[in-house]
Chains A and B, each alone.
Chain A
Amino acid sequence: MATSKKPKEAENKKKSNSTPVKETKNPIKRPDKKASATKKPDKSKPKSKPKPKSKPDNNKNKSSNGTLVESEVIADLSATTESKEQENGNKSNTNVKPNKRKQKEKKEEGEEEESKMCRFPMRRIKRIIKSEDSRMAVSQDVVFLVNKATEKFLEEFCEDGYKCSVEDRKKSLSYKHLATVVHGQSRYDFLSDYVPEKIKAEDALKETNLTETGAG
């Protein structure tokens, strides 16, 4: 009896091996997933439909790798279409959707490249510029340059503030150090109203009394 079961088991194993076409090709996908993890595909994932069969979409996120990925994507697409046909009947639509997804992902990659280059959100900077002068039109290279210039400004201001805190023998950078930097260097004069030096109330009252007595 035991011997009769074995060929059935072998047949079952064969059947199990024949149907999951996915399994033979999934290992190919896994190293691509690791590559995708380094390249932040997560932004595109929520935008793509959250199906468990969206594995080819992950490969498409890696199109920056080159043509090799595209060939694997085509192979995977064919595999997935076969598997889907086995499970469901309507799979022609999925072939159309990947093309649209590719276009969206290309746009997203372009945006991601820009976001990698820029530290601040472009929309926010545009809003700040518009609040300064709403009538003025601003080109996108202006927003990019302002982004970079602001980044450089912050880096330099922060370095100067840290030097001040080191001279003060303090480990934490505080408001006081920034204020001394602003009032110590002429190029930060435009910030003098935004970062006034803090003085004690006694000293402030003394100064006002002196001015009053001087005027009187």
Chain B
Amino acid sequence: MVDEPDRLLPIANVGRIMKQILPPSAKISKEAKQTMQDCATEFISFVTGEASDKCHKENRKTVNGDDICWALGALGLDNYAEAIVRYLHKYREAEREKASSRNKATCRSSPEKDEKSSEDKSGQPPQQTEAPTARLAS
């Protein structure tokens, strides 16, 4: 059994986003906030459902960022698709930077490994992008 509050996004976060968009003089009814909460949750289910259907058809077990971008375009939400593609690239760059900083931290402890890692890094970046996706599948 899943509790209803856990099934939805937190209403406080939803209300905060709405307040930032609307002018300060505007008011929001409680019913409108709850409706937005429901709609946001349904949006998530809608997009991820489409992406997971695509993965099932292609016999894949893991949904990735490209599937989400495709789903947004397929569902007629092109406005979001373009921005989300950009976010995806930024996120992957950030992950690469994190991975390289972690490698540097481990290399500091062992200077011998530094030489090897510097040689390997030239060939490894594509693998590093796959690593985060492989780790966190649950």
A51 at the interface (CB under 8 A from B): no
Residue of B nearest to A175 (CB): B31
Contact A139 B18 (CB under 8 A): no
State whether A173 touches B61 (Cβ < 8 A).
no
Q: How large is the interface on A (under 10, 10 to 19, 20 to 34, 35 or more residues)?
A: 35 or more
Q: How far is the CA of A124 from the CA of B52 in the complex (A)?
A: 18
A142 partner residues in chain B, CB cutoff 8 A: 48, 51, 63-65, 67-68
What is the 8 Å Cβ interface bit string for chain A, positions 116-141, against chain B (1 contact, 0 not)? 00011100110111011101111111
Give the nearest-CB partner of A132 in chain B. B45
In this complex, what residue of A is CB-closest to B44?
A: A128
Question: Is the CB–CB distance between A136 and B133 below 8 Å?
Answer: no
Which residue in B41, B43, B47, B133 is a CB contact (below 8 Å) of A139? B133
Cα distance A165–B91 in the bound complex, in angstroms: 36
Q: Is the CB of A175 within 8 A of B52?
A: no
Residues of A within 8 A of B47 (CB): 146, 149
Is the CB of B108 closer than 8 A to any CB of chain A?
A: no
Measured CB to CB, the nearest residue on chain B to A186 is B76
Q: Which of A137-178 contact B (CB under 8 A)?
A: 137-142, 144-146, 148-159, 161-162, 165, 171-175, 177-178
Residue contact B87 to A148, C-beta cutoff 8 Å: yes
From B14, B29, B88, contact of A175 by CB (8 A): B29
Which residue of the partner chain A has the closest CB to B36?
Answer: A154
Q: Does A119 contact B133, Cβ atoms closer than 8 Å? A: no
Residues of chain A with a CB closer than 8 A to B83's CB: 148, 152
| A186 neighbours in B (Cβ, 8 Å) | 76
- With both chains docked as a complex, state the minimum distance between the C-beta of B59 and any C-beta of chain A, in angstroms: 12
Structural contact, A119 and B76, CB atoms closer than 8 A: no
**A175 surroundings in chain B (CB, below 8 A):** 29, 31-32, 35
- Within 8 Å of chain A (Cβ to Cβ): is B107? no
Q: Beyond A145-B88, A173-B22, A174-B31, is A120–B46 a contact (Cβ under 8 Å)? A: no
Contact status A173-B45, CB under 8 Å: no
Q: Chain B residues with Cβ under 8 A from A135's Cβ?
A: 61
* Contact call A195/B64, Cβ cutoff below 8 A: no
A128 to B8, alpha carbons, bound, how many Å?
A: 7
Q: Kindly list chain A residues whose C-beta atoms are within 8 Å of the C-beta of B42.
A: 190-191, 194
- Cβ of A187 within 8 Å of any chain B Cβ, yes or no, is yes
Task: Write out, one digit per residue, whether chain B residues 57-74 have a CB within 8 A of any chain A CB (1) or not (0).
Answer: 000011111011100100
Is the C-beta of A110 less than 8 angstroms from some C-beta in chain B? yes
Please determine whether B27 and A194 come into contact, CB atoms closer than 8 angstroms. no
* Residue of B with least CB distance to A151: B17
Selected A-B contacts with CB under 8 Å, 20 pairs: A120-B9, A131-B7, A133-B52, A138-B62, A140-B135, A141-B64, A141-B91, A141-B132, A142-B51, A142-B67, A146-B48, A149-B72, A154-B36, A154-B39, A155-B21, A158-B36, A159-B21, A173-B27, A175-B31, A195-B39
Q: In the A-B complex, list the 10 residue pairs whose CB atoms are closest, starting with the nearest.
A: A137-B137, A172-B27, A139-B133, A137-B62, A140-B136, A141-B65, A175-B31, A133-B52, A174-B29, A136-B52
